[in-house]
Amino acid sequence: MKKRILVTGGAGFIGSHLCQRLLNDGHEVICLDNYFTGNKANVIHLLDNPYFELIRHDVTHPFFIEVDEIYNLACPASPVHYQYNPIKTIKTSVMGAINMLGLAKRIKAKILQASTSEVYGDPIVHPQPESYWGNVNPIGQRSCYDEGKRCAETLFMDYRLQNDVKIKIIRIFNTYGPKMNPNDGRVVSNFIVQALKGEDITIFGDGTQTRSFQYVDDLVEGMIRMMNSRDDFWGPVNIGNPKEFTMLQLAELVIRLTGSTSRIVHMPLPQDDPTQRQPVIDLARKELNGWEPTVELEQGLKLTVDYFKNLLQQS
């Protein structure tokens, strides 16, 4: 059935992939973005599609529209960008959630929240199941993002309990792929761009900290399955790739795949940088029709390297 779907943060990295996929699936998509970290260029190829609409709007202000579903992605996601204006970041998460939940309540739409593995903070339990409450610093450099996203989860659960809003919460683990912003400071885009330019590859700390990297197509598949999951399942559910790598391993892999002559250099580790991260995805497998990641890191990195090569040639 054709649905009208609102995607907030739709001009960002993940949002633009999601918009494309929803259009491919035959839906009508309204993409809402204030272009803080997103870019019109990410969705420019969709503008000719009569079922696609692009609207400049900031989710900290109320927004009115008639839709069947809302994917709430609006929020800067990289540490560099979310720490640039931390008050705005927490406002975006909290007021954005209130505005979008209020909208969902009024128009009886289903709403999915793009939460994050950052709700687990610097986790002491490893790997992380959804039942783990996390180890989060409430007053550190990452708090504007972590606590904003935690509060948004609370709001989602309370709108369900109090107002019967149809909610879905996913906790996204580190995701990468084409259309990442080359300047947003995340590790995959940083390493690839540095390697392609022959610049030093900047490892923060000794490089033994770990992350589990998910290719964007696997995430988008998980998001859509979650939106369409049974009515009495709202999560939160982890969506991530459980294969865990150190930042040193990632740097070496990027150097090999690009054939780069870049050197690895070490820089200070930022405050509260999580030492380890790996999702438990049993719940997603069970509730989302056997969903699991299908793209290996090496395969996904090759596609991402090709994207950045083209981008750098054009600039």
Positions marked active-site = 145
Q: Using CB under 6 A, which residues numbered 168 to 207 contact ligand NAD? A: 172, 174-175, 181
Contact code string over 46-85 relative to ligand UDP, x by CB under 6 A? --------------------------------xx------
Q: Answer for the pair 52, 76: CB distance below 8 angstroms, yes or no.
A: no
290 Cβ neighbours under 8 A, 6+ residues apart: none
| Closer residue to ligand UDP (CB): 80 or 95 | 80
- The span of 22-30, 69-77, 192-200, 288-296 binding ligand NAD (CB under 6 A) equals 69-77
Q: Answer for the pair 4, 30: CB distance below 8 angstroms, yes or no.
A: yes
Which listed option, ligand UDP, ligand NAD, none, makes contact with residue 14 (CB within 5 to 8 Å by class)?
ligand NAD
Identified binder of ligand UDP from the candidate list 99, 115, 174, 262, rule CB under 6 A: 174
Task: List the one residue out of 208, 211, 204 whose CA is nearest residue 265.
Answer: 204
Identified binder of ligand NAD from the candidate list 9, 123, 178, 236, rule CB under 6 A: 9
Which listed option, ligand NAD, ligand UDP, none, makes contact with residue 153 (CB within 5 to 8 Å by class)?
none
Alpha helices of the chain — where are they, by DSSP H? 13-24, 79-82, 86-107, 143-163, 187-197, 216-227, 247-258, 282-287, 297-314
237 in helix, strand or coil?
Answer: strand
Cα 151–Cα 100–Cα 98 angle in degrees, nearest 5: 40
| Closer residue to ligand UDP (CB): 30 or 38 | 38
Contact code string over 6-45 relative to ligand UDP, x by CB under 6 A? ----------------------------------------
Helix (H), strand (E) at residue 203: strand 201-204
Distance separating alpha carbons of residues 124 and 274, to the nearest angstrom: 10
Please tell me whether residue 92 binds ligand NAD under the rule CB under 6 A: yes
Q: Using CB under 6 A, which residues numbered 271 to 290 contact ligand UDP? A: 273
- From residue 214, alpha-carbon distances to 9, 74, 80, 134, 177 in Å are 19, 20, 20, 21, 9
Distance separating alpha carbons of residues 160 and 255, to the nearest angstrom: 47
- The span of 14-22, 164-172, 201-209, 297-305 binding ligand UDP (CB under 6 A) equals 201-209
Shortest distance (Å) from residue 293 CB to ligand NAD = 13
β-strands 167-172, 175-176 pairing: unpaired
Please tell me whether residue 252 binds ligand UDP under the rule CB under 6 A: no
What number of chain residues touch ligand UDP (CB under 6 A)? Answer: 14
First-residue to last-residue Cα distance in the chain: 41
Q: Which residues contact ligand UDP by CB under 6 A?
A: 78-79, 174, 186-187, 190, 202-204, 209, 211, 247, 270, 273
Q: Which residues contact ligand NAD by CB under 6 A?
A: 8-9, 11-15, 33-38, 58-60, 73-77, 92, 96, 114, 116, 172, 174-175, 181
